Structure 1
């Protein structure tokens, strides 16, 4: 069993908890409160800006041409999604440019992006890309799980379609292959560090949707 398959199987309870999130259940049936989705989109815009930077660092540190191409393309796509999909939703759900500009990262968003930035700055390339992968793989699983049962019409259809698209699954597979390759060439200590990074990032995925559902802000 590959590194990615093993850690993915280990985290099955956490993945089920993500799929059981009320945010995602209500998004699928179209009843998610607009305020929760607004909060999510603004926070995701802040997240993607930082995620794009982390992907660019991964590209710079990649030892192979395949890694450099994949992560540089991923950084470009993160910026494009932020600018295109989010701006369309900002208009649809009443988020003004001023609101977006003044937005402050929630504790979950700041924790997640800061964790990824710390991997990029202080940890190995192998650990970094293991921490990057859950954002791809979890969203792909969520998109595929929601798409068949989503209500139609659905105000969140464009979001669902984005992450259930075959092209997104193909990008996920390419990143997963890079992580598996890195793990195969790494020693036991590095593989354990990679597994730890994958676990933490997947927990942050759960926290991100939970914080959006409750429109989480700073308690003080």
Structure 2
């Protein structure tokens, strides 16, 4: 079994917990409180800025031209999501660029982005891309799962549609292929490190949405 298939199956209980989160259940129903979504998009904007940098670092470290191109394209997509999808919701919820710039990352946001930065700075390319992958793959699963049951009209329809498109699915598949490619020539030790990175990033996905729903900040 390929690396990605094996770790995806292993993380099924966590993936189900993500799909069961009140944030996503209520988002699909169109009943998610606006303040929770506002909290989410502001934090996601901060996160995506760092994620784009991590993808650019993955591109710089990639062993092949195809991989460099793919991770570079991923960085551009992250910026485009911030510029288009986020800006439309910023207008809807009364958020401006100054508010985002002055906002502070929550523990979940800072923890996730810093973890990926740690992988980029101190770990192998293979471990880094395994940590990058959940942000693609989990969002793709979420988009495809909640789109069929989402009510219409829905104030969050644009968000749901973004992550359920064939284009985003294609980007996810290509990222998956690059991770499997890295795992195919990795040692057993490196493959286990890749699995740890994937597990950790998937748990951070759960934490990010849970934190947004509860509008959590720093406890002290």
Q: TM-score range by the shorter chain?
A: over 0.9
Residue of structure 1 equivalent to 2:150: 150
Partner of 1:98: 98
TM-score, structure 1 as length reference: 0.99
Unaligned runs of 5+ in 1: none
- Cα deviations by residue, 1:154-185 (Å, 9 ceiling, x for unpaired): 00000000000010000000000000011011
Moved over 6 A (4+): none
Q: Say whether 1:62 aligns with 2:38.
A: no
Deviations 1:28-70 (A, max 9, x none): 0000000000000000000000000000000000001111000
- Is 2:184 the counterpart of 1:211? no
User: Match for residue 46 of structure 1?
Assistant: 46
Normalised by the size of structure 2, how large is the TM-score? 0.99
Match of 1:196 in 2: 196
Q: Which 5+ residue runs of structure 2 have no aligned equivalent?
A: none
Per-residue Cα deviation, 1:178-201 (whole angstroms, up to 9, x for no partner)? 000110110100000000000000
Aligned equivalents of 1:35 and 1:24: distance in 2?
14
Offset, 1:98: 2.5
Whole-angstrom distance in 1 between the partners of 2:122 and 2:37: 33
Aligned position for 1:19: 19
Aligned-residue Cα RMSD (Å) equals 0.5
- Answer with 98-107 or 61-70: which moved more: 98-107
The answer as to 2:41 corresponding to 1:36 is no
- 1:133 maps to which residue? 133
Q: Aligned to 1:66, what secondary structure does the other structure show? A: helix
C-alpha separation in 2, matches of 1:199 and 1:162: 24
Q: How many angstroms apart in 1 are the aligned matches of 2:196 and 2:13?
A: 16
SS in 1 for 2:105: coil
User: CA–CA distance in 2 between the matches of 1:98 and 1:128?
Assistant: 32
